[in-house]
Structure 1
Amino acid sequence: MKKLINLLFISLLALTSCSDDLDINTDPNTPQEINKGLALSAAQGSITTIMGGEFFNLGGMYAQFYTQAPSAGQYEAIDQYNLDTDYANRLWTELYAGALNDLEFVLNESNEQGDTGTYLIATCLKAYTMQYLVDVFGDVPYSEAFQGSDNISPSTDPGEEIYLDLLSKVDEALAAYEESPMNSDVGQQDLIFTADMDNWVQFANTLKLKLYLRMSNTSQANSAAVTSLLNEGNFLSENVSFTAFTDATSKRNPYYEVQIQELGDVNDVASNSLLEFYARNDDPRLEAVFKPNTEGEYIGIEQGIGILAEPYGGYQAQEFARPDIQPTTPVYLMSLPESSFLQAEAYARYGSSEQAQQKYEEGVMRSFELYGLSTADAMDLINADGAYAFDATAELEDQLETIMNQKWAGLANVNNIEAWIETRRTGYPLLVDAQDPAYEEGRRIYSLASVLPGGQIPSSIYYPDNEVQRNSNLTQKPNLLQEVWWNQD
């Protein structure tokens, strides 16, 4: 794959070495020289741009946090489950030719220098990025990728093989660092943890836990590995996030820059699937995730109905609640609430219900903290009489539903693409027909504008047409219903 550096970080860092001045939405000229620190910054910029941009918007709609406003049509295809083969052209290039290619450079340089710290950082970020490519697209190029002109048509690898190799690579990097703990010398060029290796080791462990739990319903399930991680207990103590945004052109949060600054906040409005979930449980996160309409009210619409002529024809986006994303809202690669909910699921599956309850309640508390809300309100909801009480005596599937419903509610505006992936993996929150007698407000529904046959939703997205045309070994999938590997068993 050809080299495409995410130039926003590189040129600015070369001039200023100041993360506050970074531009993650434009591509200045490439500097004449690059070192592993600049390449690492570039890779983190590419990942942040996609996680906080295209994946954030796609996940927001597919997880049913947002839906298309009646007065615009920018994202009708997403709400209709009707994405075309051109949709992923930019994000694929940004992740493959940008982030992953830059990380390959960092890995090679670090290996040559014996820099086990930076090698671990780059390994974690590569595993994180590849995992999302598999989870969104399915089988993707991996073992033959990143060879430049030596192989311009890399074949795809099965998703399960990629997962196993990613886990192996993270283990190898952790072992190398533990055997020869050389602290990374990239310093502030690491725009996430400023080369704090304790945090990167914790991220590595939490990422491994996520990968293993993705496998939990497959033949690759590994209870021993999960139990070992739980016993070690060295998971995230800080959010994995990019925070160096400023309220200036091309330096803002990527979702804000495109959806609000450039497009005028006219597309995404609150989906009742999430808004009513919060509302019927008196959950104050409603007013943290959404901003009110012009009358100060929090009103949403059913998923997909804004595309239809009735009943909202002529309504403007500002008449509904909309995502509350600000210019400096961080982009979260992984959050403390997500870490807690991962541990809760792991304990429910492989440990004790009491431990699952403890981590579940910790996850709800951390979610409220992340949104800047009072933990006292969280405690009211998770106590024995609260709407979010955890029943440690319930069957496993009921416990998982409780955990995953809260994980979904706590990922809104935090990591939207993760929320969509987890709804596909677990089936929670339940997905029902809006006309079904079992429907109640606050559950996911089949988009009312869907072009797919009843009872079907996208399971992955098309490979980008640009890449299919260039790569003779990449065959386009027949439709959006093709499952990724962990949903096929």
Structure 2
Amino acid sequence: MKNIIRFLFLLIMITSCEEDLNINTNPNTPVGADKSFILTAAEGSLATIMGGYLTNVGGFLSQYHTQPPSASQYLDIDTYNMNADHANRMWNEIYAGCLNDLSYVKQVSDDENDTGSYLIATLLQSYTFQVLTDLFGSIPYSEALLGEQNISPKLDEGDVIYPALINSIDDALAKYNTNPVSSTVGTQDVIYSANMSDWVKFANTLKLKLYLRMAYTSQANPTAVNALLTANNFITSDAKFSVYSATQEEDKNNPFYDVQIDRLGDVNNIASASLLNFYTDNSDPRIDAVYRKNTSNLHRAIDQGDRGSFASLVAGAFSRPNIKPNTPVYLLTVSESNFLQAEALIRYASGVGADAKYNAGVLNSFLTYGLTAAQANTLTGTGGAYQYVPSANIETAIRQVMVQKWASLAYINNIEAFFELTRTKYPEIVTFGTQNYTIGNLIISKNSILPAGQTPKTLFYPTDEINRNKNVNQKDALTEKIWWDQK
């Protein structure tokens, strides 16, 4: 396993240091390479982006952290002033690394009739495309990854990509169920060690997420959602990439830790009052799992973007993200699965059983953070701050689920929290001075350069892609809505 990890990190280093990758070819996937090693590299590439760039960006946009007064590295994010160069490396890494590698694994697995490995690669590719289209809207999909056959792939709209992803998952499941060949990649699959039962559960959970993302659109599909709920075969263990070194070793640590804490000196991310005060006001012990205390052994935050009020204070005066060298990168958690099920039951099954799924979501959040069931039950039990209160009003009931989902995703999957608060509008973004952090509220960053009341909904297409793909036209603003943002 040690040699696998070394190989993986070598591939990641080569890709992340390359400035001008061609997204239509992948220099890190030599013809004839063992698909098991390529799968490991693809998973590592995805984890690098999810746990690095998207943890940082998602943390600002979900108001888990903000820029400290003494630093300015990420003022462009905190002020909602991200430009077209912002996502260059992320875009290149995803297309030239992760997605190309997964296509290779799918092709070889199909040739070898390895339906298990084909399913794994399909699921990871579908997950990655979902993240990309949720972040950028229209993206290269149907014509992507064709190499020199098409160096300027067209952009497919998100409302076309989503059904295509579901069909892709269903096709891979059908292929596996018809001829259930267990994946040959073994422990080179560092997420579920090629346990096909776990991957089938991942497939169902991912499909549920895709269907619920469409809940406010004309493509909402209650029948499909209820079929998944009836089958009740969702993940029972967190899908995570967890082979990072527990000691401080360059390029072998959690990607957020490696860059933000180790290389950049832990000076750019401090707690936002939006989340820290929510934890504090509700006596939520997750606060110590999510944030490290300041140099005075206290928890302290600032309102999102409020640099001017604390200009003389350095980052150490505030709480900061509690990410360690070996903190895993999570793709899907049992907590998130239960919150998805709770939302589905509220929307499409009259709320029957939603309370149990909601409680399980909170409970498993605590367990993922290394806390205890007793601590969770104290808050969700009768009279607890997080006690579920049934409501005949669907949105009132869903709000409880989404606020807890937001509180559970901090440094677990920051970008997913951004997608969900954008889709559902929970926690609400309110005018500064009217916020109630105790119940879960966000504010517009006090540094915002956008017109009053506006916040980012997307990212600009990278300059690299604009320059090399004639089919990509830059969007007008960060405030353009993703297609499922219809509430």
Question: TM-score by structure 1 length?
Answer: 0.94
Partner of 1:236: 235
1:102, 1:22 → 2: CA distance? 12
Match status 1:249 vs 2:236: no
Inter-CA distance 475–243: structure 2 relative to 1 (3 Å threshold) = same
What per-residue deviation string (whole Å, max 9, x for no partner) do you get for residues 412-431 of structure 1? 01000000110000000111
The alignment status of 1:154 with 2:181, answered yes or no, reads no
Are residues 1:318 and 2:321 paired? no
Equivalence map 1:41-440=2 (5 Å): 41-246=40-245, 247=247, 248-306=249-307, 310-436=308-434, 439-440=436-437
Q: Which amino acid aligns with 1:41?
A: T
Aligned length: 471
- Out of 29-38 and 282-291, give the one that drifted further: 29-38
* Offset, 1:21: 7.6
Asked if structure 1 preserves the Cα contact closer than 8 Å seen for 2:29 and 2:38, the reply is: no
SS of residue paired to 1:486: coil
Change (3 A) 1:352 1:60: same
3-state SS in 2 of match to 1:353: coil
The equivalent residue for 1:459 is 457
Structure 1 residue runs of 4 or more that deviate by more than 3 Å after TM superposition:
16-22, 28-33, 438-442
Q: Secondary structure at the match of 1:444?
A: strand
2:330 aligned counterpart, secondary structure: strand
Give the match's secondary structure for 2:310: coil
**Amino acid paired to 2:298:** E
**What corresponds to 1:9 in structure 2?**
none
3-state SS of paired residue (2:83): coil
Aligned residue number for residue 22 of structure 2: none
User: Secondary structure of 2:340's partner?
Assistant: helix
In the other structure, the counterpart of 1:27 is: 14
CA deviation after TM superposition for structure 1 residue 31, in Å: 8.1
Query: Match of 1:474, SS?
Result: coil
Closer, same or farther: CA 282–480 of 1 in aligned 2, 3 Å: same
Rounded Cα–Cα distance in structure 2 between residues aligned with 1:369 and 1:390: 19
TM-score (norm 2): 0.94
* One-letter amino acid matched to 1:472: K
**Contact persistence 2:278–2:437 (CA under 8 A):** no
Checking the alignment, whether the CA contact within 8 Å between 1:22 and 1:244 is kept in structure 2 is: no
Partner of 2:20: none
Q: Distance in 2 between matches of 1:403 and 1:459?
A: 22
Cα distance in structure 2, aligned partners of 1:312 and 1:120:
51
Q: Distance in 1 between matches of 2:263 and 2:3?
A: 28
In the TM superposition, what is the alpha-carbon distance from 1:23 to its structure 2 partner?
2.3
Pick closer, same or farther for the CA change 1:261–1:440 going to 2, 3 Å. closer
Contact kept in structure 2, 1:332 and 1:414, CA below 8 Å: yes
> Using the alignment, how far apart are the partners of 2:29 and 2:120 within structure 1?
23
CA distance in 2, matches of 1:388, 1:133: 33
Q: CA contact under 8 A between 1:65 and 1:273: conserved in structure 2? A: yes
- Percentage of matched positions with identical amino acids: 47
CA distance in 2, matches of 1:473, 1:371: 43
Deviations 1:197-241 (A, max 9, x none): 011100000000000000111000000000000000000011000
Opposite residue 270 of structure 2, the aligned amino acid is V
CA distance in 2, matches of 1:386, 1:464: 46
Question: Could you tell which deviates more after superposition, 66-75 or 27-36?
Answer: 27-36
Report the CA distance between 1:20 and its aligned residue.
Answer: 7.7
1:352 is displaced (CA, Å) by: 3.8
Q: Contact 1:80/1:450 (CA < 8 Å) preserved in 2?
A: yes
CA contact (8 A) 1:19 1:191 kept: no
Amino acid at match of 1:482: E
Report the equivalent of 1:3. Answer: none
Q: Work out whether residues 41 and 189 of structure 1, in 8 Å CA contact, stay in contact via their aligned partners in 2.
A: yes
- Quick check: 1:17–1:189 contact (8 Å CA) kept in 2? no
Q: Does the aligned pair in 1 maintain the 2:277–2:437 contact within 8 Å? A: no
Show CA shifts across 1:158-205 (max 9, x none).
101100000001001101111100001111211111111011100000
One-letter code aligned to 1:265: D
Distance 1:20 1:91 in 2: 22
**Letter of the structure 2 residue corresponding to residue 194 of structure 1:** S
Counterparts of 2:34 and 2:237 in 1: how far apart (Å)? 27
1:322-353 CA deviation, whole Å, 9 max, x = no partner?
A: 00000000000111111110111111111142
Against the structure 1 CA distance between its residues 241 and 20, is the aligned structure 2 distance closer, same or farther, given a 3 Å change threshold?
farther
